[in-house]
Amino acid sequence: MNIRDIHIPVMLERCLELLGPALQKDGAVYVDGTLGMGGHSEAFLERFPHIRQVGLDRDTDALRIAGERLAPFADRITLVHTVYDGIADALSSSGYDHADAILYDIGVSSLQLDDASRGFAYAQDAPLDMRMDATQGITAADVVDTYGEGDLRRIFERYGEEKLAGRYARAIIAARQNGRIERSGQLVDILQAATPAALKNAGHPAKRVFQALRIEVNGELAALERAIPAALETLAVGGRLVVLSYQSLEDRFVKRLFVEATTSTAPKGLPFELPEHAPQFRLLVKGAELASDEEAARNPRAKPVRLRAIERVREAS
């Protein structure tokens, strides 16, 4: 099996184009905050032979596979087992005090989706796990079997934007009376049975619930809220951050944090802006960019992507 045949990096050329200007100097530090199977990293290391890279991932399988793929660049890379909000510590432990370019390709990876045993995909029966880091933390089965009805409804509404959240939460509570729900197939059957006939053709009933469970299990939105400020803090002047997100929830978080970072802190009513109130960052793209129709056709996982990019223009006061 050739990993390059099953893993196509999303918006690769655009990421190279946006981050490239920050990687021109010898020894520039590039951080792949969501290493995955190393597709983006391989391209950056090939395109910029003078850079150093720190690669982060919470998934030990991803670190192993990426390590094998990036072996030709072993003298220029450091791989760190951590969630991407741990970027500052990862840089420090790797011997760097800043980053020049950072890429966050957030959400579930191809590796996790394609391995049925991980329990991320509702289309395949498997243990209800969904942990990105299989070495620690609660599983999706733990959530389904221990959370109360109110908490289940809350996460389905908040993280899945599921309109039938209450109905599905009640169905899960009722099904638990017959024993532990341990497999994705069991959960899918419960959700399908609880879906009104009129809505059965309006998309798979498990899609949003599985998304919500995955986000809850991995603390994804909380990590994202910490990761963006942490990344911005590590950037040198002229340094750039690109974020690829695949869900509206994630993209709204990124948009809000980027707006805050690029907005003047001057109190309203001042006749002029003092230098210390000027924004430390500027947006590199207007709004969120989408993958081209050609890329979406070639790589279906690029269809929902939203790209946002930002650059540090001055030091903190």
Token readout for 98 is 């800043």
Q: How many domains does the chain have?
A: 2
pLDDT range class, residue 112, cuts 50, 70, 90: low
**Cα angle, residue 253 at apex, residues 247 and 254 outer, rounded to 5°:** 90
50 labelled ligand-binding: no
Per residue in 285-294, pLDDT (tens digit) is 999 999 999 9
pTM for this entry = 0.87
40 labelled ligand-binding: yes
**156 and 241 assigned to the same domain:** no
151 labelled ligand-binding: no
Does a structural domain hold residue 288? yes
57 labelled ligand-binding: yes
Does a structural domain hold residue 113? no
Q: What does the DSSP assignment read for 6-20?
A: H---TTHHHHHHHHG
**56 and 130 assigned to the same domain:** no
Among 218, 253, 274, the domain-final residue is: 218
**11 and 145 assigned to the same domain:** no
168 labelled ligand-binding: no
Lowest mean pLDDT among 18-27, 95-104, 207-216: 207-216
**168 and 77 assigned to the same domain:** no
pLDDT at 48 over 60: yes
What pLDDT does 111 receive? 55
pLDDT at 240 over 70: yes
**136 and 187 assigned to the same domain:** yes
pLDDT at 22 over 90: yes
287 labelled ligand-binding: no
Top-confidence residue, 6 or 162: 162
pLDDT at 81 over 80: yes
**Cα angle, residue 274 at apex, residues 273 and 275 outer, rounded to 5°:** 115
Among 218, 244, 274, the domain-final residue is: 218
Helices 184-194 and 165-175, packing angle to 10 deg = 120
Cα separation, 35 vs 104, in Å, equals 9
Q: Is the dihedral of CA 133, 161, 204, 291 positive or negative?
A: negative
177 labelled ligand-binding: no
**213 and 224 assigned to the same domain:** no
**8 and 100 assigned to the same domain:** yes
Which residue range(s) make up the domain with 177?
A: 119-218
Cα separation, 166 vs 143, in Å, equals 16
**15 and 93 assigned to the same domain:** yes
Per residue in 200-220, pLDDT (tens digit) is 777 788 889 999 999 999 998
Lowest mean pLDDT among 6-10, 48-52, 57-61, 168-172: 6-10
Residues of the chain above pLDDT 70, percent: 89
What pLDDT does 273 receive? 64
Among 218, 248, 268, the domain-final residue is: 218
What pLDDT does 132 receive? 86
